[in-house]
Amino acid sequence: MAKLSVNINKFATLRNARGGNLPDVLKAASDCERFGAQGITVHPRPDERHIRYKDTRDLKGILTTEFNIEGNPVDSFINLVLEVLPAQVTLVPDAHDVITSNSGWDTKKNLSYLKGVVSIFKSNGIRTSIFVDPYPEMIYYAAESGCDRVELYTEAYASGYSDNREMAIEPYYKTALAVKEAGLGLNAGHDLNLENLNYFAKTISWLDEVSIGHALICDSIYLGLENTIQAYLRQLNNY
């Protein structure tokens, strides 16, 4: 069964819009765990427009499940991760001015750079994942970097799901096979939701983890946070 890691960035976005501490990001993370989430993900950016570096430090002391910190490995990010020492770090090549992550790494072009970053984190006992688009070639070079896992960027799957789910998942299935052949672990994330998650997890049954934030938080407005997390877990279990 793939684990569900809840990305709590949107709780911080709401808090920051008004100031103060409502909603309480630390309590939200603890509640996600209490309601069944098997991990917590944050994506701190240098401008701290949602999750702040201080949030990330504070979360380390209260979480009981796997902590995943994702982001572009600029110096400040690397230093933060080495200070917090999460279970997993996910390397994402997002520019400072993007609203959300919009592409995976070109692992061939950036192989030397990624090798250096991966070695830093792995030497400190942190499982390292690389965010990639669904192209098998990217997996081969990711494996050369020394990483432990890759995370498939699933926006294209999500956008194509309603029109033709078989066609939408085909490149992901082929890439996931390459991940298995390379001996890497497999994560996935971006725009996965209650409509498209089950088919993805059922088709790629060796999936280790999904990271879901925006859709899950939106669903919780209508369903409540506990019911929403349980609904997502059912999608992962209902093979």
Active site residues: 43, 70, 190
Gap between the Cα atoms of 8 and 171, Å rounded: 28
Chain Cα centroid distance, residue 50? 16
CB-CB neighbours of 133 under 10 Å: 19
Got the DSSP string for 39-92?
A: EEEE---TT-SSS-HHHHHHHHTT--SEEEEEE---HHHHHHHHHH--SEEEE-
Residue 147 DSSP one-character state: -
Q: How many angstroms separate the CA atoms of 41 and 37, rounded?
A: 10
Pairwise CA distance, residues 90 & 74, whole Å: 13
Of 3, 55, 1, the closest CA to residue 30 belongs to 55
Quote the tokens at residue 179: 């991940």
Number of Cβ atoms within 10 Å of the Cβ of 171: 17
The three-class DSSP label of residue 165 is helix
Q: In whole angstroms, what is the distance from residue 231 CA to residue 225 CA?
A: 10
